[in-house]
Structure 1
Amino acid sequence: MTPDDGGDPVVLREDTMRAGIDSATRTIEEIETHPTRPNVMKLIGSRGGGNSRAVLAEAMAGESSAGTPLYLLLDDIAGASLIAGFAYSRWVDHDLLMQAIGAGPVRDMTGLCAGFQPGSGAMMPDGSPKWNHQVRSVAPLPRANDPLSWHALEEITDMAMRRARRIDVHVADLITIDSMFQDSSTVPTGGRVAVHEYRLTATADPDTGDLLTIDADPRVLPYDECPLAARNVGKILGTPLSELRTVVLEKLSGTEGCTHLNDAMRALAEVPVLVRDLRARSNSG
């Protein structure tokens, strides 16, 4: 929390998580958290994009209701493991990569999201995705003139993907939300390129927590059809912020949504916890 009076920031909660995930099946093989939560071991054997979120909801129900940073990290395993392989396209020879992909099982992506809607230019005739992602070089996230703009980010120069997520909240006459996420890869020549980047701005009722306005700004997306999902975000207006994890999946499934944009909107379910913290600090002051 950064005080209005310009005082020193206060860290209210902090969690870290490390997981080992099979690159082919996206199955969680090992996991640890700090501080330690014994129940997290129940996630071993679950699969990102399969049953990991169902197992998570049952095993870590207390973390969900408390809105801990850990729950958001664990929920993101599904999306982060999905995009992790993009880094290969920046570091591995294209022809070799295509041979490796062609040797594996074909995954029909038709109807998965707005980007893979029927007839999309993102897909091969068999429904498998093309590896012709549009990308953009991106500057470092921390701002030189604002040392509090991000937490410390590890400097990595070899092959790696990073999902960075930010949710800023201010409470006055309305709850005001400014959120973004970015999926980026290192590149052999240095620096990073992004394959996904969205900014979300929203307002909510300070008494009920109901979502009043929301706007999705697609900054970087891999295919021409991907931004179409942004025009559907109004379907969740009126939803209590705390219910977004389930309502987003109900109202923006398949070609109505984008896997990664949906995750960004679902993450706003943590906003009520931030609002409570801000109010508690304000009242104690």
Structure 2
Amino acid sequence: MLGVTQRELVVLGTSSQTPTRRRNHNGYLLRWDGTGLLFDPGEGTQRQMLLAGVSAHDIDRICLTHFHGDHCLGVPGVVQRLSNDRVPHPVRAHFPASGGEFFARLRHATAFDETAQLVEEPVEGPGVIATGPFGVLETRRLDHRIDAFGYRLVEPDGRRMLPDRLAEFGIAGPDVGCLQREGSVRRGDRTTTLEEVSEPRRGQRFAFIMDTRLCDGVWELAEGADMLVIESTFLDRDADLAERYGHLTAAQAGAVAAGSGVRRLVLTHFSQRYADPALFREEAERNFGGDVVVAEDLERIPVPRRDS
């Protein structure tokens, strides 16, 4: 289980169909406070975890967008590593229900002593698929050549305590915790409510979008995301190929970020046909004036601090 204060994306791989000398197949671990979500572990993910300092114990959920090999061929190694390292907590696996046969093959690709508890929770359609201390995990359907889903993690809205107001009302020490838990605290002849000494605080959002054309699901997932991790397989000069094979361009990714109020845009899933990764940034920035990250293997990208 992870520590309780960390929110970052550990990038394990950033290539698309074919890995390169610099880029492994896909793989992304989201550290979200006490929860670790492993997205789309492609071939070689187990070794990339070692290089990145990621333990099998860090994984609480495995989330697959679809069953093309560059997004799932690392599942056998990861699943077996859970047992080899004797991970004590259940690990839940989400994947398109239509690919259940593929997941079964990947899960039992070879003989091994299965001691870890892997709980399969297939995704039947868009909507909420899990809730917990992390908030709400949702899916939306994407537009690819086979069934595909994107994921969004939404933290519940909360309230931010205002030190000046707390001091004004004489609230300090254990009374602050009581106020947060109970919604009010009474001292003497006065009751102070949470609303009097705090302000609304919007929960953070993380979105993960892989192989897809532009569709409603892309926009719904990206809406208001503090961090959007999104494929940008092609550059705009090859937009016809992107449409044909069910992918996005860097320009489209930038437009989605701009239109959805995204704070940090993380581009990934790059075709091996392009030698200069700076081109992806330049193209995305034509449409999006915010923070753009061109992901590199083994990079750690923090979720932006709260803006309010």
Please confirm whether the aligned pair reaches a TM-score higher than 0.5, indicating the same fold.
no
Q: If each structure's strand is expressed as a fraction of its own residues, which one has the higher value?
A: 2
What is the TM-score when the length of structure 2 is the normalising length? Answer: 0.24
Q: If each structure's helix is expressed as a fraction of its own residues, which one has the higher value?
A: 1
Structure with higher Rg: it is 2
RCO (CA 8 Å, sep 6+): is it higher in 1 or 2? 2
What is the TM-score when the length of structure 1 is the normalising length? Answer: 0.26
